[in-house]
Amino acid sequence: MKPAKFDYHAPASVEEALALLRRYDGEARLLAGGQSLVPMMNFRLVAPAALIDLNRVAGLDYVVADGATVRIGAMTRQRAIEFSPLIAARLPLLRDAVRRIGHLPTRSRGTIGGSLAHADPAAEIPMVLRALDGQVVARGPAGERRIAAADLFVSPLTTALASDEILTEIRLPAMPDNAAHAIEEFARRQGDFALAAIAVTVAPAAGGRHTVRLATGGVGPVPQRLVGAEAILEQQGFGADTIEAAAARAAELVEPLGDPHASADFRRHLTAVLTRRAVTAASRALA
């Protein structure tokens, strides 16, 4: 047997799952798509006393438009997002990000909520949540609360979710129809986690100006909005020199991690290169 022994529960409702979390008092893990948790269990890097499988919980799998917000159930499969006409129309940045996660067979199981709760620093969905300034809904013993993207990610693999809470929904502001976006990432092999990634959206605003949102993935311990680089582009537009200045600013703003795959300096360099490429692509797509 690869994984260590655990108690298995497959609750039918969020309430039942919350009761189980309380009963195991921090010793249980929630199982969503399992594409990150099960490998860690197979290696016995993680050996929870109990697994609470959310795959049979009703009502956590949906994509709905709610005014200017798109609400996505936490157990919605990445594959469902990839092929959702609503996501393609309202959140094309998310669709393009999801296509870069692993491979089609892993996206069949992997969920949007699982990816966010796992909080791998190099994962695409956390980067998109940060770029679009979305929020997540968590349910716990005291009821429901919303957590903004800026507050959700604490450190690698650690979120602001309490051990007795369940992430139930993701809320993202729909992108304007005339917005452009781009994702640029650098990975050594197809489907691998990126050593660095940049997501950008550009939306026309009043007075011929644009609203720009830039976020990193895989560079620092958590996805980061690059507000200082956004400001340069919002004030000065998308000339080659301005994009270069924004890319240089982006590289100054990040606090890269160094590991055996890439040094901190290399990740800083990649941040500038990928920012330049992403902003150039998005600004061209506007025209």
Site residues (vs another protein, CB under 8 A): 1-10, 34-35, 38-39, 42-43, 50-51, 53, 55, 79, 83, 102-106, 108-109, 189-191
Shortest distance, position 3 Cβ to another protein, whole Å: 5
Shortest distance, position 107 Cβ to another protein, whole Å: 9
With b for 16 or more beta-carbon neighbours within 10 A and e for fewer, the 155-182 pattern comes to eeeebebeebbbbbbbbbebbeeebbbb
Shortest distance, position 210 Cβ to another protein, whole Å: 32
Shortest distance, position 195 Cβ to another protein, whole Å: 17
Which one, 117 or 147, has the nearer CB to another protein?
117
Shortest distance, position 79 Cβ to another protein, whole Å: 7
| Residue 190 DSSP symbol | T
Which one, 44 or 146, has the nearer CB to another protein?
44
Task: Evaluate whether 195 touches 99 at the Cβ level (below 8 Å).
Answer: no
Which one, 43 or 62, has the nearer CB to another protein?
43
Burial class (CB in 10 A: 0-12, 13-18, 19+), 85: exposed
Which one, 7 or 234, has the nearer CB to another protein?
7
Which one, 13 or 42, has the nearer CB to another protein?
42
| Residue 118 DSSP symbol | H
Token pair recorded at residue 5:
């022994």
Cα→Cα distances 287→69, 90, 95, 238, 281, Å: 26, 19, 21, 11, 11
Q: Which has the closest alpha carbon to 286: 228, 220, 226, 205?
A: 205
Shortest distance, position 7 Cβ to another protein, whole Å: 4
Which one, 69 or 108, has the nearer CB to another protein?
108
Token pair recorded at residue 153:
């990610």
